[in-house]
Structure 1
Amino acid sequence: MATENPAKKLKMDGPLIGTHSGHFHADEALAVSMLRLLPTYANSALVRTRDPAVLETCHTVVDVGAVHDDALKRYDHHQREFTATFPGHSTKLSSAGLVYMRFGRDIIAAVTGLAPGPDLDILYEKIYTDFIEAFDANDNGVDVYPGTQLQAAGLAKRFEDRGFSIASVVNRYNYTNSKADDSGKSKEEKQAEEDARFAKASAFVGEQFLLELTDRANWWLPARHVVKKAYDERLQYDPQGRILVLPEGMPWSDHLYTLEKESPIPEGVAPEVLYVLFPENTEPGSKWRIRAVSKENGGFQNRKDLPDPWKGVRESQLDEVTGIPGGVFVHASGFIAGNRTFDGALAMAKKAVEF
């Protein structure tokens, strides 16, 4: 008699996870992948079914069963009376949000090694805001902007973006290449193929989550402390505090917006930074960049573009226009510029804030 592969058995000796069979969505794909980042569930098998008797055998169930009860490890959001939201947010949770709200801090600690404390709490909130909430909104039919308001404002899409989201990618995994491929297959074979497609979708979404989390932990979170120091020292470069100087390139915009909101503004100091300076790299003699600060959530709109006469001008011609040596370029849209030295970049920024 054949024996079970020991490696296969090892992979399936964790608490059993359950979710529904049939058409799947991004929220339960993400919920399952997040659970498996925890040591408790790292070796868990998954069963996809709508049979209550089978679900009853599962340790943890997501997105099916009409029960939300952490003590029972049931995380469904489809029941009529369900209204739970993430703290400080108004979007009703999906199974992804439920799992993240309950296990998010533990997942972050397991992946990054962060200890409980302010940094972990900040990252926990940031990941929900920038990544998880969109899954909740998508599964609950919440638009980014109310459609009636868009119509009233006379706004229309410039292009169709329905196929561009993570949710749309997950949806593609629901379908085989050809319906003819299913002919002659048993119910069990079809279910196995559906489960395999779900596994691929869950792995894809899980990878995106890990990329988001590790990027935030490795670059975004450490930058918070550096940006804070630069913000506190900004008056040495401009008496109104409109220029921020960083020691290297880093994700700074989120931290700057937060600091501006939370910090007291002394009399005579501008409420907003207009330009951020940073070297192109950490090598000695690096060129410097001048970046116009975008309006918060404003896409490509800046608080103050670099001066119009500078836009699209390069090298010696730029030196003539600005009156400052060492110019490299100013982008045609006025959002970024370069100079060969820090002193030259600072001089350009000082001239630009007064232009």
Structure 2
Amino acid sequence: MASPAKRLKTTPLRIGTHNGHFHADEALAVYMLRLLPEYQDSTLTRSRDPAVLEECDIIVDVRNPAPDQSAGFGNRVQGQYDGTKHFDHHQRTFSETFSPEFQTKLSSAGLIYKHFATQMISHRLSIPIDDPSITLLYNKVYKDFIEAIDANDNGISAYPSDVKPAFNDKSISLPSLVGLLNPEWNDPVKTQESEDEKFLEASKLMGTVFVQKLDYYGKSWLPARDYVVKAMEGRFEHDEKGRILIFPQSIPWKDHLFTLEVEAGIEEEDKKPLYVLYSQEAEKQGWRIQCVPVSRDSFESRKPLPEPWRGMRDDALSEASGIPGGVFVHASGFIGGNETFEGALEMAKKSLGL
């Protein structure tokens, strides 16, 4: 007979969740767990039988407690959250958030992310677990992706209830797409097996987007920070007030710029960068000049390109600006282009004085 240690190594771990109608949060929670080496070959049990679920190694989004806690009817609709085996968020007293900086209550996705994401990030991106970038990515991915899943599952709106939306965008959200994967109420051949297959499809949908987000932040967004730091350090080279930043190519710079401004204590508006220049010569499109927005998500620029240039192209732009090599300036004035670095830089300098 094999030793207990050997049996432990060869027996796949088991993930448990409820059966029936499924949502985006537990679909994502299961996928995230399977990104961990110890759960990559795990089996999945979908049930509402407490005794069956308690046989699993980890249980997510399940309201029913262990059999020895279900003496009363009231207890049977309660869940458990202990941070080790039980990860449910339906308890009346549940108020767990990602950190004190957040007010959004966690769903099962947020709970799994909170407890296991540092290992996921380290494993997926091959970054040492104690590297400072792990914490940076851990917080960033939660804020920009996981929190919205938590809010959706807990019925938290992004806007005050008295704000009337201009259109309905709920039908194109990830949770709504997961909802469509549930078997229809009048499906004549609905079985537990077919339902489980649909759940795995939903889990793959949520997980694929999660991994794409994680890869983007780890492999593209994070490395861009060093370029923004360098540009901030050299921003007085072309303007005595440091209002022009220069990058060798197009990079995701906005998040990092606003973060670095706060870290550097740059509060005065006249000391903040206004224009970003970056090369697109690899695409044979010359150089771009882009205005820094007033905030991360704003379409309003700190200082748009001059109004007389807006909507102009090519020779007409060169004539209007007095700068050779003009390519275009967007009608809103938030971005423009020139054939050369010197031309784009001159556009930035001239715009500062207009």
Query: For the residues of structure 2 that align with 1:322 and 1:107, how far apart are their CA atoms?
Result: 51
Q: Tell me if structure 2 keeps the 8 A contact 1:326–1:341.
A: yes
Query: For the residues of structure 1 that align with 2:81 and 2:271, how far apart are their CA atoms?
Result: 45
- Relative to structure 1, the CA distance from residue 85 to residue 271 in structure 2 (aligned partners, 3 Å threshold; closer, same or farther) is farther
Matched to 1:199, the amino acid is: L
Q: Secondary structure in 2 aligned to 1:69?
A: coil
- Relative to structure 1, the CA distance from residue 40 to residue 281 in structure 2 (aligned partners, 3 Å threshold; closer, same or farther) is farther
Query: For the residues of structure 1 that align with 2:259 and 2:345, how far apart are their CA atoms?
Result: 24
Query: For the residues of structure 2 that align with 1:111 and 1:271, how far apart are their CA atoms?
Result: 39
Q: Tell me if structure 1 keeps the 8 A contact 2:249–2:280.
A: yes
2:320 paired with 1:321: yes
What are the equivalent positions in structure 2 for 1:224-235 lying under 5 Å apart? 224-235=225-236
| Corresponding residue number in structure 2 for 1:44 | 42
Per-residue CA deviation, residues 154-205 of structure 1 (Å, 9 max, x unaligned), is xx322111112111111111134x83x41xx4xxx61111111110000010
State the shift of 1:282 in Å. Answer: 4.3
Q: Tell me if structure 1 keeps the 8 A contact 2:16–2:45.
A: yes
| Corresponding residue number in structure 1 for 2:133 | 119
| Corresponding residue number in structure 1 for 2:165 | 157
Matched to 1:99, the amino acid is: I
Q: Tell me if structure 2 keeps the 8 A contact 1:277–1:289.
A: yes
> Percent identity between the aligned chains?
49
Q: What is the total number of aligned residue pairs between the two structures?
A: 328
Per-residue CA deviation, residues 122-171 of structure 1 (Å, 9 max, x unaligned), is 011000000100011111111112214x3xxxxx3221111121111111
What are the equivalent positions in structure 2 for 1:197-276 lying under 5 Å apart? 197-265=198-266, 270-276=270-276
Matched to 2:96, the amino acid is: A
| Equivalent of residue 91 in structure 1, options 99, 104, 117 | 104
Query: For the residues of structure 2 that align with 1:236 and 1:175, how far apart are their CA atoms?
Result: 62
Q: Tell me if structure 2 keeps the 8 A contact 1:63–1:95.
A: yes
Q: Tell me if structure 1 keeps the 8 A contact 2:31–2:207.
A: yes
| Corresponding residue number in structure 2 for 1:27 | 25
State the shift of 1:300 in Å. Answer: 2.1
> Greater CA deviation, 92-101 or 289-298?
289-298
State the shift of 1:301 in Å. Answer: 2.1
Query: For the residues of structure 2 that align with 1:272 and 1:136, how far apart are their CA atoms?
Result: 35
State the shift of 1:13 in Å. Answer: 4.5
Q: Tell me if structure 2 keeps the 8 A contact 1:249–1:281.
A: no
| Corresponding residue number in structure 2 for 1:70 | 83
Matched to 2:174, the amino acid is: I
State the shift of 1:266 in Å. Answer: 9.5
Per-residue CA deviation, residues 193-241 of structure 1 (Å, 9 max, x unaligned), is 1111110000010000000000111110000111011011111121111
Per-residue CA deviation, residues 102-122 of structure 1 (Å, 9 max, x unaligned), is 000000011100112211110
Per-residue CA deviation, residues 275-319 of structure 1 (Å, 9 max, x unaligned), is 110001447x86100111122144422222211111110111101
| Corresponding residue number in structure 2 for 1:337 | 336
Per-residue CA deviation, residues 249-270 of structure 1 (Å, 9 max, x unaligned), is 1100000010111103499x83
Query: For the residues of structure 2 that align with 1:226 and 1:120, how far apart are their CA atoms?
Result: 19
2:166 paired with 1:172: no
Q: Tell me if structure 1 keeps the 8 A contact 2:255–2:296.
A: no
| Corresponding residue number in structure 1 for 2:52 | 54
Query: For the residues of structure 1 that align with 2:11 and 2:198, how far apart are their CA atoms?
Result: 22
Query: For the residues of structure 1 that align with 2:29 and 2:217, how far apart are their CA atoms?
Result: 20
- Relative to structure 1, the CA distance from residue 236 to residue 98 in structure 2 (aligned partners, 3 Å threshold; closer, same or farther) is same
Q: Tell me if structure 1 keeps the 8 A contact 2:254–2:296.
A: no
| Corresponding residue number in structure 1 for 2:72 | none
| Equivalent of residue 81 in structure 1, options 89, 93, 97 | 93
Q: Secondary structure in 1 aligned to 2:327?
A: strand
Q: Secondary structure in 2 aligned to 1:328?
A: strand
Q: Secondary structure in 2 aligned to 1:346?
A: helix
Q: Secondary structure in 2 aligned to 1:67?
A: coil
Query: For the residues of structure 2 that align with 1:286 and 1:161, how far apart are their CA atoms?
Result: 35
| Corresponding residue number in structure 2 for 1:193 | 194
- Relative to structure 1, the CA distance from residue 232 to residue 304 in structure 2 (aligned partners, 3 Å threshold; closer, same or farther) is same
Q: Tell me if structure 1 keeps the 8 A contact 2:323–2:346.
A: yes
Question: Aligned Cα RMSD in Å?
Answer: 1.8
- Relative to structure 1, the CA distance from residue 20 to residue 281 in structure 2 (aligned partners, 3 Å threshold; closer, same or farther) is farther
Q: Tell me if structure 2 keeps the 8 A contact 1:13–1:45.
A: no
TM-score, structure 2 as length reference: 0.89
Query: For the residues of structure 2 that align with 1:36 and 1:266, how far apart are their CA atoms?
Result: 44
Query: For the residues of structure 2 that align with 1:106 and 1:282, how far apart are their CA atoms?
Result: 37
Per-residue CA deviation, residues 19-63 of structure 1 (Å, 9 max, x unaligned), is 111111111011000000010100011111111011110100001
Mind listing any 5+ residue stretches in structure 2 that lack a counterpart? 1-9, 65-78
| Corresponding residue number in structure 2 for 1:8 | none
TM-score, structure 1 as length reference: 0.88
2:277 paired with 1:277: yes
State the shift of 1:354 in Å. Answer: 2.0
Query: For the residues of structure 1 that align with 2:245 and 2:331, how far apart are their CA atoms?
Result: 22
